[in-house]
Structure 1
Amino acid sequence: MVFDLHIGVLAFPFGTHAGPLLTLVQRLAASSPRTQFSFLNTRVSNGSMFNARVSVPYENIKVYDVWDGMPQGFWGNHFEAIRLFLSASPDNFEKVIEKAEEETGLKLCCLISDAFLSFACDLAEKRGVPWVAFWGSASHSLSVHVHTEEILKAVGSTEVTKQEHTLSYIPGLTKVRLSDLPPENFLDKNPSLLALTINNMVQKLPKSIAVVLNCFEEIDPVITNDLKSKFKHLLNIGPLMLGLQPQHLILSSPNPRALDDKTGCLSWLDNQNKPRSAIYISFGSFVTPSKNEVMSLAEALETCQIPFLWSMKDHVKKSLPEGFLNRTIAYGKIVAWAPQLQVLGHSSIGAFISHCGWNSILESICSCVPMICVPMTMADHKLNARMVVDSWKIGVGVEGVLTKSKTIEALNHVMFSEVGKSIRENIYRLKEKALDAVKLDGSSTKNYKKLLEIISAPKVGA
């Protein structure tokens, strides 16, 4: 096939960043078949996604590996891997961009990148093409970074630990506390690499032709309107796991019954006696609670004897109480991996115990499953939990360290009380708003069409 346009896509290969960006590119490729998309990511990240993801290959997506900056035999922690990757950038991307241009015979006409990779702005300016930044999380998490200077001025130049300090002066964030913010919000005398990366991103984002979010406008209209005043185009096109027209209201993941249920999660849920009677537990792919927290959660589940499906890494099992697996075999199931979207969409699931990663929250909303928030002290988890519990009121939170008594109280609230009934009503209304956003005349569909216009006529711009 002869292509008319060539667009470069730069992924951030850590955490869950690359997956939603790939989902967006697949959707763009289907909508714009005469555009070549060169997807640039590290070999390890590409390998994990394209081996594990159930996806339809597109002729106009070509995947390229970029160097991750790691020396041969590297054995370091997550943050050191990020440091090496960013140290190797943007040279590693530039080399592969040149290769992609040579192979396709087309110069790039636009760059789409994870917003973390703010150097994409400079690469785009160097080539005289527009830059589209993709923020794979929520509008509220972008807002706290955009308003960092105002937050720091409000709390003063010295470190503030007042738990009661709220961001009442930031539109839409009146319920958020200072203690909910990601550590990267604070540029102290020795700022972390992630803090510097995000600070650079905030400085560059206004130069983008569009900031694209995996979110929908109606979840936080006040925040949406505020952010729209900051950028040329703010385009909420989510939730990405919901298809846009003409396949609107269809989950982009495979049908649950068509999925190869190797771990038996779905068949186990089929055997539960009552709808909304089981708990699903997952702390994501990169977060592990402490040994004491795992033990406390297990003891609470055993005391309540509520059916549970727990997605748990194998090495975490050693933190379980002795004999727990045998004593709970009649009503519990532990697996190393679960098809989360299909699990949450099952009628037997009544609540979701989560670390509050953004993808998990979106999947919970779209599946109409109330949340029990156990945020970890990293990224935007605590901030997301605050929005879930206090702003949208679609879940309950566990403040501080997870204990047996706190877990039992949260389970009782969500599963058996009037509080749980109210939460279900709230999340149902929010799900309806998400579904409306992806209809033909919905806000996310309109924003997606605007994005297509921008990348199809990149030098014209708005």
Structure 2
Amino acid sequence: MSMEELARSHDWKHQVLVLAFPFGSHPCSLLGLVRRLASDAPDVKFSFFNTATSNAAIFNDGRRNDNVFPYSVSDGLPEGYVRRWGVPEEPVELFLKAACGNFREAITAEVAGVEVGGVVSDAFLWFAGEIAAEMEVAWVPVWIAGLRSLVVHLHTDLFRQNLADSGHDEEKVINFLPGFSNIRNIDLPHEGIHADLESPITTMLYKMELHLPKASVVVVNSFKETEPVMFDLLKPKLRELLTIAPINLTSPTKSIINDEYGCLEWLDKEKPNSIAYICFGTFVALPPHELEALAEALVESGVRFLWSFRGNPEESFSEDVLQTFDVQGKLVPWAPQTRVLAHPSVGVYISHCGWNSVLEAIMEGVPMICRPFVGDNGLNVRTIGCEWKVGLGLPNGIFTKDGVMKAMETILDPYKGDQIRSNLKALKHLAFKANEPEGSSTKNFNSLRKLLTK
């Protein structure tokens, strides 16, 4: 029986509508949470609304729940659209301009016949709250990043007012909110605080700020134990706040994700804590001069590495560098990241510091070297380097040969990196404790499950 036939033939208790934001790690994270819920409620249908391209990518991982069904939503792109290099926000803006109408159209075409028992959405999709209200069911927005970034987005007016006279003072410290003494103006998400108020992304964030306090429950992909001050700042603004982390991670030892490029076999031959794992996600790319600086640092330091590299290496590196790379490391188009980070040979993770990458590094106990790009990356870097002290930022937030070499030397050295690894061990302990049977993440997940599947 096909998935479509199963969806229509089964006598479902009710269905939960799920609205995904189809960029970066957002849809995969949301699907991870939905699959956990679906596994505990086989008589509830989960209708997952997302763009066709994104659905094809995230549902093609070998996993299956017989009660999770993908449905397509238009991506808002004009016919024949070609993505312009250097303008990563354009597809997002085109999607957002048409998202409200496109989701409503897709939902209307598919929901008939099965009672709706709740609406789950990416927190960015504020209009999901209006859809839930019209259906008189619970709305559960999911914030896939950390608590600190949500604090910023729910205090937009406060930040804009206090920073209005700061001009271009990037080093101005945030001294008007508890727990922000290590955060500077430059670390804040540009899209929410400094961008044009009329831009689609800023409009989305502003509407999210207005709507989240009306949600039945707000789920955040974090541990309240690791961000207690941020949790306390958020709690009065929301009806109910549930920290459930990690929402999309499975045990690497139980992972069914393939290792088609032989990363793990290669790592098996390396010394413990000796490898630099490098990955910057799927949504960003290094400027050429920083790519060159990172390559020079690797070559000159001699540090062995595994690099999940997006793009064509032959177009990005000289022949001499590629010859050195062939001996010194391994370049692959894709790596099974959670399994790689769990490998004992990996000693440092060089990353853009997206929140999911941060959580994965914490759960596997791997120190980070951080180069922020967009969104919450800057906040994450400062939290990692100055609050938790489990990794290192870079001078001026960019790759230079000397900056990378010094950071790698500090972390990979058994003595210099000892305090970082000790701090990371304590943070990892809090994360695992939250996921014990009586831990906060476990209890919060059970509360969410009862709300949506009872």
Question: Once the 2 structures are TM-superposed, how far is the Cα of residue 254 of structure 1 from its aligned partner?
Answer: 6.0
Q: Point out where structure 1 has 5 or more consecutive residues left out of the alignment.
A: 244-250, 458-462
Give the aligned partner of residue 246 of structure 1. none
CA distance change for structure 1 residues 109 and 154 in 2, over 3 Å: closer, same or farther? same
Question: Once the 2 structures are TM-superposed, how far is the Cα of residue 362 of structure 1 from its aligned partner?
Answer: 0.6
Take 2:350 and 2:324, find their aligned partners in 1: how far apart are those partners?
21
1:148 aligns with 2:156: yes
8 Å CA contact 1:295, 1:321 repeated in 2: no
CA distance change for structure 1 residues 260 and 91 in 2, over 3 Å: closer, same or farther? closer
8 Å CA contact 1:394, 1:427 repeated in 2: yes
Matching residue's letter, 2:102: N
Question: Once the 2 structures are TM-superposed, how far is the Cα of residue 67 of structure 1 from its aligned partner?
Answer: 1.4
8 Å CA contact 1:187, 1:195 repeated in 2: no
Matching residue's letter, 1:255: K
Q: Secondary structure at the match of 2:203?
A: helix
**More off after superposition, 413-422 vs 303-312:** 413-422
Take 1:413 and 1:28, find their aligned partners in 2: how far apart are those partners?
42
Specify which of 113, 125, 130 is matched with residue 133 of structure 2.
125
Matching residue's letter, 1:398: L
1:109 aligns with 2:108: no
Matching residue's letter, 2:390: I
CA distance change for structure 1 residues 107 and 97 in 2, over 3 Å: closer, same or farther? farther
Take 1:270 and 1:94, find their aligned partners in 2: how far apart are those partners?
49
Please report the TM-score for the alignment, with normalisation by the length of structure 1. 0.91
Question: Once the 2 structures are TM-superposed, how far is the Cα of residue 189 of structure 1 from its aligned partner?
Answer: 5.4
Matching residue's letter, 2:254: N
Question: Once the 2 structures are TM-superposed, how far is the Cα of residue 167 of structure 1 from its aligned partner?
Answer: 1.9
1:88 aligns with 2:84: no
- Provide runs of 4+ in structure 1 moved above 6 Å: none
Matching residue's letter, 1:38: S
Take 1:66 and 1:407, find their aligned partners in 2: how far apart are those partners?
42
Question: Once the 2 structures are TM-superposed, how far is the Cα of residue 276 of structure 1 from its aligned partner?
Answer: 0.3
1:434 aligns with 2:431: yes
Question: Once the 2 structures are TM-superposed, how far is the Cα of residue 73 of structure 1 from its aligned partner?
Answer: 1.4
Question: Once the 2 structures are TM-superposed, how far is the Cα of residue 85 of structure 1 from its aligned partner?
Answer: 1.9
8 Å CA contact 1:110, 1:124 repeated in 2: yes
Specify which of 390, 396, 416 is matched with residue 394 of structure 1.
390
Q: Secondary structure at the match of 2:89?
A: helix
Matching residue's letter, 1:136: I
1:75 aligns with 2:78: no
Q: Deviations over 1:152-198 (max 9, x none)?
A: 22223x46222332223223222111110011222665542211111
Give the aligned partner of residue 134 of structure 1. 142
Take 2:448 and 2:178, find their aligned partners in 1: how far apart are those partners?
25
Take 2:195 and 2:377, find their aligned partners in 1: how far apart are those partners?
21
8 Å CA contact 1:30, 1:58 repeated in 2: yes
Please report the TM-score for the alignment, with normalisation by the length of structure 2. 0.93
Where in structure 2 are the equivalents of 1:34-433 lying within 5 Å?
Answer: 34-51=43-60, 53-55=61-63, 57-77=64-84, 78-102=88-112, 105-156=113-164, 158=165, 160-186=167-193, 191-242=198-249, 251=251, 255=254, 260-272=258-270, 274-376=271-373, 378-400=374-396, 401-416=398-413, 418-433=415-430
Q: Secondary structure at the match of 1:163?
A: coil
Q: Point out where structure 2 has 5 or more consecutive residues left out of the alignment.
A: 1-9
RMSD: 1.8
What percent identity do the matched residue pairs reach? 39
Take 1:125 and 1:22, find their aligned partners in 2: how far apart are those partners?
23
Q: Secondary structure at the match of 2:369?
A: strand
8 Å CA contact 1:357, 1:384 repeated in 2: yes
Take 2:30 and 2:443, find their aligned partners in 1: how far apart are those partners?
19
Q: Secondary structure at the match of 1:379?
A: coil
CA distance change for structure 1 residues 159 and 167 in 2, over 3 Å: closer, same or farther? closer
**More off after superposition, 111-120 vs 84-93:** 84-93
8 Å CA contact 1:279, 1:352 repeated in 2: yes
Question: Once the 2 structures are TM-superposed, how far is the Cα of residue 371 of structure 1 from its aligned partner?
Answer: 0.3
Question: Once the 2 structures are TM-superposed, how far is the Cα of residue 48 of structure 1 from its aligned partner?
Answer: 1.1
Question: Once the 2 structures are TM-superposed, how far is the Cα of residue 263 of structure 1 from its aligned partner?
Answer: 0.7
